[in-house]
């Protein structure tokens, strides 16, 4: 019954855009694309997830659907560098983590403004820890991180939210004075819906 109601609502929407359905991406006959949505008390950011980094993309989707990230916050905010969310930088979350991923570096994917990457410790294999992610907030980007840290997505809507997070007051450990809880989800958009709702044209 719920699936039928979702389909009915989609069919009644004005225009040809597909309904965004987190659990059932195939409700419509149109091809849909997973978009990472990071919601906070300051607003929501939407991210395109690169097909060129399939392992990181799928793990992020898996953890988002499991609501894994929602137990954490944006725990590190560094102006002109990155805002970081998910698990803290601690042995508890990094030593023998079940979420370690081998790198999938691509020369065409770098640390531009709004790049979505996965954190890691100083392990020699440069394995990412999918438990943690960061967003580049330096306007000129951070090319020095390329081929060292994994970028698997890019910001396509919510630049004002990223700026607001970056401007939050922090302590000497770069932790926000006021907690910024995470609500990370996956929403599916058709090509038309991406353009109409998010102003994003498929690459």
* Residues 59-117: tens digit of each pLDDT: 999 999 999 999 999 999 999 999 999 998 888 888 889 999 999 999 999 999 999 99
Backbone φ/ψ region at 86: left (φ over 0), alpha (ψ -120 to 50), beta: left
Strand residue runs (E) in the chain? 32-40, 43-49, 73-77, 82-86, 100-101, 115-118, 128-129, 132-136, 150-157, 183-190
The SS3 assignment for 117 reads strand
In a domain, 93, yes or no: yes
Residue ranges for the chain with pLDDT beneath 70:
1-28
In a domain, 203, yes or no: no
Question: What residues make up the domain containing 191?
Answer: 2-198
Both structure tokens of 158:
């919510």
How many separate domains does the chain show?
1
**The pLDDT of residue 150:** 98
In a domain, 144, yes or no: yes
**The pLDDT of residue 93:** 87
Alpha-carbon dihedral angle through residues 192, 189, 75, 170, given to the nearest 10 degrees: 30
**CATH number (domain holding residue 35):** 2.40.100.10
In a domain, 151, yes or no: yes
**The pLDDT of residue 19:** 45
In a domain, 148, yes or no: yes
**CA geometry: angle 76, 79, 82, nearest 5 deg:** 55
Residues 6 or more apart whose CB falls under 8 angstroms from that of 55 comprise 101, 102, 104
**The pLDDT of residue 23:** 54
In a domain, 80, yes or no: yes
**The pLDDT of residue 28:** 56
Q: Nearest-CA neighbor of 182 among 59, 63, 40, 36?
A: 40
In a domain, 6, yes or no: yes
pTM for this model (two decimals): 0.87
In a domain, 175, yes or no: yes
For residue 33, the tally of other CB atoms under 10 A from its CB is 18
**The pLDDT of residue 30:** 84
Whether the Cβ atoms of residue 172 and residue 77 lie closer than 8 Å to each other: no
């Amino acid at each position: 019954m719920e699936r039928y109601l979702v389909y009915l609502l989609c069919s009644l929407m004005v225009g040809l855009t597909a309904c965004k359905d987190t659990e059932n991406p195939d409700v419509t006959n149109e091809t849909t694309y997973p978009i990472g949505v990071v919601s906070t008390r300051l607003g929501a950011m939407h991210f395109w997830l690169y097909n060129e980094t399939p392992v990181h993309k799928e793990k992020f989707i898996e953890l988002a659907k499991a609501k894994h990230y929602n137990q954490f916050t944006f725990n590190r905010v560094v102006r002109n560098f990155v805002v970081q969310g998910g698990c803290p930088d601690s042995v508890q979350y990094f030593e023998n983590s079940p979420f370690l991923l081998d790198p999938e570096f691509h020369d065409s994917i770098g640390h531009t403004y709004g790049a979505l990457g996965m954190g890691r410790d100083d392990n020699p294999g440069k394995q990412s820890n999918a438990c943690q992610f960061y967003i580049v907030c330096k306007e000129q980007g951070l090319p020095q991180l390329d081929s060292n840290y994994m970028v698997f997505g890019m910001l396509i809507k919510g630049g004002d939210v990223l700026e607001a997070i970056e401007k939050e007051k922090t302590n000497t450990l770069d932790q926000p004075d006021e907690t910024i809880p995470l609500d990370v989800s996956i929403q599916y958009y058709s090509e038309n819906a991406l353009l109409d709702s998010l102003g994003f044209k498929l690459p």
